[in-house]
Structures are given as C-alpha cells and as structure tokens.
Amino acid sequence: MSRPLSRRTVLRGLGTAVALPWLEAMSPGTIGSAARAATLRPSTRVAFLFVPNGVHAPEWLPTSTGPGVHALPSSLPPLLEPLDRVRSHVTLHAGLAHGNARALGDGPGDHARSAACFLTGTHPKKTAGSDIQNGISIDQAIASHDRGRHRFDSLELGCEPTLTAGNCDSGYSCAYSANIAWRSPRTPVAKETSPRAVFERLFMAGPAHESLAARHRRLTRRRSILDVVRGDASRLAGSLGGRDRQKLEEYLDGARELERRIEQVERSEQDASDWGLDHLPAGTPGDYAEHLTLMGDLMALAFRLDLTRTCTFMWANEGSNRTFPMVDVRQGHHHLSHHAGDEAKVDAIRRINRWQNEQFASLVDRLANTEDEAGGSLLDDTLILYGGAISDGNRHNHHDLPIVVAGRGGGAEPGRLVDHGPRTPLCNLFRSMASAAGAPLERFGDSTGLATL
C-alpha cells in the first residue's frame, strides 16, 4: 500500500509555494466517504461578519410568538426577502443585546461602542488617545484554543481601512470604530482590505517566499502565482487517481479565475468620491459589490484549504458614510441612519439593508455549493454570524440586535427563528459558537449562559 500524500504538500516553483486542497490521496488507505467524513470531521469553522449603522429595525424580523424556537414563516419581511433563497441555511435570532455598548455614563459615542463591543462584549474606555482599553474578542478567544494548528490562527478581512488613532466618534478613538478583532484589551488586530494581498498571503505557503523584486517582476508581467508552479502541479497530477486529478484541476482553475478577477479590479479606475469616501487605499476595488464578493470568496478559499478556522469580516467601519449608488442611494449611510422619521431617508435605509442582505445571501449560497474536505458543503461544519451591535440606527439601540447565523456547525438546525427572550446577552450565543469550535468558555463578556444556535 502506497504512503498517503502529506497534508502539508505544496506546489513549488521559483521561490513560490502554493497550498493544496484536501485530496483523497491524503487519506490513509482506501476508506468509504462516510468513514472518511467521520475521521476528517474537525471542530466547527466560525466567521463573524459586521455591518455598521444599524438597520430599519421595525421591518427587520418576522413576528415572534414569544421566546423559543419557531419555524421561519413562509413569507419573510421585505428587508429579509433576499434571504428567502437560502432560508434552509440560515437562522434568524431575536432578543439578543449588547448591554456594554450602551453609554453607561459615558455620553455620546454609540457607533464606536458598537464596533468595539460587537465581538468583545466589553464596554470600551472612552478615550481618543493611545490609552485604549477594550476586551479580547470572541474570534481571538476561539483562535487561542487552536493556536499553531493551522497556517493562520485567524483571518481578518475588511472593505474600509484599519484605523488606530484619531477621534472618530465623540471622544472615542478610531481604533474602536475601525476594528472588531482584538487580540488583547489594548491591541486590535488589523484587517486586510486588499484582495490581492489576501490572495497571495493564502497561497504563499511554506518557507519559500518570493522576494519583493521577484514579486514585482511577476506582477509587472501579469504572471500568475499558479503559472510558476504549473510544472510541479503536472508532476503531482501524474501520481494521482482520476478523481483527485479532476479536483486538483478544478481547484487550480478556480483559483486562477479568482486571481483574474482581482487583476481586473486592479486595472479598473478607483474613484473614492463615487462611494462617498475620502480615499480608497491601493489595491481596493472600486466596485463595492465586487470587493465584498472577492473577500467572501477568499474567506471560503481559506476555509476550504483549512488554512484557518476563524475569520472576521468587517463590511465597513462603524459610522461609515459610504454611499450606495447601485441602489440609487447618493447620500451617506451614517447620515441616512439618523433619519428622524423622514420617509425618503427611511426608504434609502431600506434599500441599503436589502442590498446588504442580498450580498449575504449570495455568500451563503456560494458556501453551500462549495465542497469541503469531508465531501459535504462548507456550511455543514461552519457557523457564520452576520449583523451588528446597533439595532435601530436612528435610535442607537443596542437590544433586539439584527443577528443572522448561517450554517450547521455545532449541530445548528437552520430554517428557524430563535427568540431568546428580551435583552439576552449576545455573548451567550458567542459562548455556544465557541463550544462548537472546540473552545468552550465558562464566561465571556456579560454572558449568563449558553444560547440555542
């Protein structure tokens, strides 16, 4: 019997090493798909997706008949209609709250507290100086239990720049508004906003890395990372069975297509004013929808390759005043969220919320149709929490938060509405997600127990 292919096998060429997907040749011996799934089933992957500025809360959730678990109604509220096509993959959560995002005597600054508290459950210290103080975020608490087992303990993604200094909200540091992942109370984890940087970080495996000069030459010639390992890929394919050869070919073709999309957005003109922003950092796609899509696909790739099992994705910084011309919204999001009942502004918020939910549904659909290493869907062992720590953007409420979870990780049963009861700490749900991810926590933030996934 031949020796199984190592899970650490990479494709090499000219100082570049490319990670491989799981192949059947990596299994010891010949085993059936059910047995393979049982031996390969690891802890649940978790991802946390953040959207800013709250939602139009009165039209967010279906009517609940009280605390408990309910079937999703046949007709979802208008804001959630985009989720109807993925209803079998998502769970709506009602009644969750972040009490530590409230003022608690600190006055204005709900947007900064929202982002800072979102994954920490902690009331941040009000300061615009360097003496920031928050809590450790749930993604980092989970990652610490899995440290060193994957290429990346965690992956932090975003679509707007990481900020670490300055006054962004009523005396709160920009570090609070622009970061949701916190490694320690004083150390936010910077997010990566360039799809190119994330792509190359994921693929550049092993000790052999391109020099800056070699990378510059390759990009100038528009030569793919995959081009320089094609010879090694051909040699490996010759030693694989038919199914593995097909999987390797599909994987390389898919990765190359993703790289081409990145190249395309890099060549497109980038005008920050089109989106109501002051500037777009180098490497940032000018098309927001494509930016979100690329980052979501890169997250899926990292999960598929088992490069990490923990990810955060900040769709925009809290208080973002980005415009949404794709749905004919030309005023800034933050400005519109303070609508004071103005029906025209409320309608604009509705369009933004629906568009966001369409992007989320599209991501869920792509993950549901991506095969994982055990032969099922990526969603079978994944939990993706989507939402924010402000409910009504006009009122700055921090209870009845807009929270949706996709996936079946940890035994979750999607297609339901879970009403947790009034002001149940969101940290209870975080603890349940941590347990599913193999990182049980006795307490987290202001948790009072566990919550139904």
Domain end (from 252, 267, 283): 283
Say what the pLDDT of residue 26 is.
81
Q: How confident is the model at residue 313 (pLDDT cuts 50, 70, 90)?
A: very high
Examine the domain organization and report whether 339 and 306 are in the same domain.
Answer: yes
336, containing H or E segment: helix 333-337
- Under 8 Å between Cβ of 5 and 248: no
Say what the pLDDT of residue 177 is.
97
Report CA-CA distances (Å) from 328 to 169, 351, 352: 27, 9, 10
pTM here? 0.90
- Under 8 Å between Cβ of 191 and 179: yes
Bridging pattern class, strands 172-173 and 187-188: unpaired
The rounded mean pLDDT for the chain is 88
DSSP state, 392? B
Say what the pLDDT of residue 158 is.
97
Count Cβ atoms below 10 Å from residue 108 Cβ, excluding itself.
14
The tally of domains found in the chain comes to 2
3-state secondary structure of 60: coil
Examine the domain organization and report whether 150 and 257 are in the same domain.
Answer: no
Q: For 384, list phi and psi in degrees, rounded to 5.
A: -120, 110
Range with the largest mean pLDDT of 157-171, 264-278, 317-331: 317-331
Examine the domain organization and report whether 186 and 234 are in the same domain.
Answer: no
Handedness of CA 63, 65, 66, 67 (dihedral sign): negative
Examine the domain organization and report whether 320 and 407 are in the same domain.
Answer: yes
Say what the pLDDT of residue 289 is.
94
Domain end (from 221, 254, 283): 283
Report CA-CA distances (Å) from 42 to 22, 149, 310, 410, 434: 13, 12, 13, 11, 14
Write the CATH number for 295.
Answer: 3.40.720
Give the Cα separation of 168 and 173 in Å (integer).
6
Examine the domain organization and report whether 267 and 149 are in the same domain.
Answer: no
Which range of residues forms the domain containing residue 76? Answer: 45-193+284-436
Examine the domain organization and report whether 169 and 73 are in the same domain.
Answer: yes
| 209-242 pLDDT tens trace | 555 666 566 555 556 777 778 888 888 888 888 8
Examine the domain organization and report whether 53 and 85 are in the same domain.
Answer: yes
* Mean pLDDT of all residues in 273-279: 58
Q: How confident is the model at residue 37 (pLDDT cuts 50, 70, 90)?
A: very low
Examine the domain organization and report whether 259 and 294 are in the same domain.
Answer: no
Examine the domain organization and report whether 131 and 72 are in the same domain.
Answer: yes
Give the Cα separation of 68 and 82 in Å (integer).
24
Examine the domain organization and report whether 339 and 401 are in the same domain.
Answer: yes
3-state secondary structure of 300: helix
Domain membership of residue 452 (yes or no) is no
Buried b (16+ CB within 10 A) or exposed e, 378-398: bbbbbbbbbbbbbbbbbebbb
Say what the pLDDT of residue 216 is.
61
Examine the domain organization and report whether 9 and 158 are in the same domain.
Answer: no
Q: Residue holding tokens 């979750």?
A: 412
